[in-house]
């Protein structure tokens, strides 16, 4: 009698476990999120949101999904107005490496401009909504001139420097013609890197890219006419296209990176540090940017 009770109890537990696992798998399938129980060939969606400041988290996700044999293609969902030159270039190169192993399709959200477009150009195919704000192929280096304000409040900076260009961007004085020419040459060089990257990624002539690389923004519809975007469509269209390129039949299963669990304090400290560093870099004139033009609306 006792053995029979143990057997029944064990059977019930096994049945409950099967139901639980089945429910989790079904829920994961419906949501298209990675719970570790989505089976079969999959399309991974990696999101790039906000200002491009740190490439490492996205690179880690791309590397993870590239090594995952069950992931047959990737979609980059870009929702970014741009950001730093270096992280944008790092992400561009990582996407190019990924393309050599698996299909990569970009889906542009409300905005994927400047550095956001730089990254997108490395993919095999780009989807944008008709009203997506994109383009803004250009570079900017910003300085603040507080000379008049300093004079009014009686503040004066004393500079000791090792060379004539060491304090370029000093907010306490006017920029010299030589300094402006030096910085313009620097900007032109970085801008040409941007143009060259777009030309290589989009398989366009550099002269053709140069024609639209004056900082202008475009709608998704305009960008398609200019050859900067391949198709008009949303995230689902991009996922279906990636699945087709990978040879996945039927409705593709979709997986997202696991969200990192962080404490509220950790998040607030990271945000505060990032904002402080960004403001200091801007003030000191140390930050080269691929941003949207001033006054552009993201709403």
The CA distance from 52 to 48, in Å, is 8
The pLDDT score that the predictor gives to residue 141 is: 86
Q: Which domain CATH number covers 46?
A: 3.90.226.10
Instruction: Please report whether residue 11 resides in a domain.
Output: no
The pLDDT score that the predictor gives to residue 276 is: 52
The CA distance from 25 to 193, in Å, is 46
Instruction: Please report whether residue 17 resides in a domain.
Output: no
Q: Say if residues 213 and 194 touch (Cβ distance below 8 Å).
A: yes
Instruction: Please report whether residue 3 resides in a domain.
Output: no
The pLDDT score that the predictor gives to residue 298 is: 34
Note if 114 is an active site residue: yes
pLDDT in tens, the chain (299 residues): 555 555 555 565 666 666 665 555 555 544 444 444 445 689 999 999 999 999 999 999 999 999 999 999 999 999 999 999 999 999 999 999 999 999 999 999 999 999 999 999 999 999 999 999 999 999 988 888 998 999 999 998 888 999 988 989 899 899 999 999 999 999 999 999 999 999 999 999 999 999 999 999 999 999 999 999 999 999 999 999 999 999 998 888 999 998 765 556 655 666 665 565 455 444 444 445 556 555 443 33
Instruction: Please report whether residue 105 resides in a domain.
Output: yes
Q: What is the total count of domains within the chain?
A: 1
Instruction: Please report whether residue 15 resides in a domain.
Output: no
What DSSP line would sit under 96-115, residue for residue? HHHHTTS-EEEEEEEEEETH
The pLDDT score that the predictor gives to residue 184 is: 94
Question: 161, 166, 236, 266: which is the annotated catalytic residue?
Answer: 166
The pLDDT score that the predictor gives to residue 37 is: 46
The pLDDT score that the predictor gives to residue 143 is: 86
pTM attached to this predicted model: 0.76
The pLDDT score that the predictor gives to residue 277 is: 47
135: left (phi over 0), alpha (psi -120 to 50) or beta: left
Instruction: Please report whether residue 9 resides in a domain.
Output: no
Instruction: Please report whether residue 16 resides in a domain.
Output: no
Question: 80, 107, 114, 136: which is the annotated catalytic residue?
Answer: 114
Question: Tokens 């004056």, residue?
Answer: 214
The CA distance from 207 to 209, in Å, is 5
* Domain of residue 213, residue span: 27-260+268-290
Instruction: Please report whether residue 232 resides in a domain.
Output: yes
């Amino acid at each position: 009698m006792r053995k029979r009770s143990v057997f029944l109890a064990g059977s019930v537990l096994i049945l409950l476990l099967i139901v639980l696992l089945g429910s989790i798998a079904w829920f994961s399938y419906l949501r298209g999120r990675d719970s570790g129980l989505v089976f079969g060939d999959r399309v991974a969606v990696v999101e790039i949101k906000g200002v491009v400041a740190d490439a490492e988290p996205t690179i880690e996700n791309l590397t993870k999904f590239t090594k995952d044999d069950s992931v047959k293609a990737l979609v980059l969902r870009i929702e970014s107005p741009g950001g730093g030159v270096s992280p944008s270039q790092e992400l561009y190169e990582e996407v190019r490496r990924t393309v050599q192993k698996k299909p990569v399709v970009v889906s542009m959200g409300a905005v994927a401009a400047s550095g956001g477009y730089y990254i997108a150009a490395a993919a095999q195919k780009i989807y944008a909504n008709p009203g997506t704000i994109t383009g803004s192929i250009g570079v900017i280096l910003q300085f603040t001139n507080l000379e008049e304000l300093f004079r009014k409040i009686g503040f004066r900076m004393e500079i000791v420097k090792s060379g004539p260009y060491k304090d370029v961007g000093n907010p306490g004085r006017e920029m010299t013609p030589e300094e402006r020419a030096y910085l313009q040459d620097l900007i032109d060089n970085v801008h040409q890197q941007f143009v060259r990257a777009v030309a290589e990624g989009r398989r366009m002539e550099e002269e053709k890219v140069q024609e639209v690389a004056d900082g202008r923004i475009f709608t998704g519809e305009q960008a398609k006419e200019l050859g900067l975007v391949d198709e008009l469509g949303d995230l689902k269209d991009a996922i279906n296209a990636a699945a087709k390129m990978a040879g996945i039949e039927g409705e593709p299963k979709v997986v997202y990176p696991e969200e990192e669990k962080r404490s509220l304090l950790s998040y607030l400290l990271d945000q505060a540090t990032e904002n402080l560093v960004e403001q200091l870099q801007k003030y000191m004139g140390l930050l080269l940017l691929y941003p949207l033009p001033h006054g552009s609306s993201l709403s």
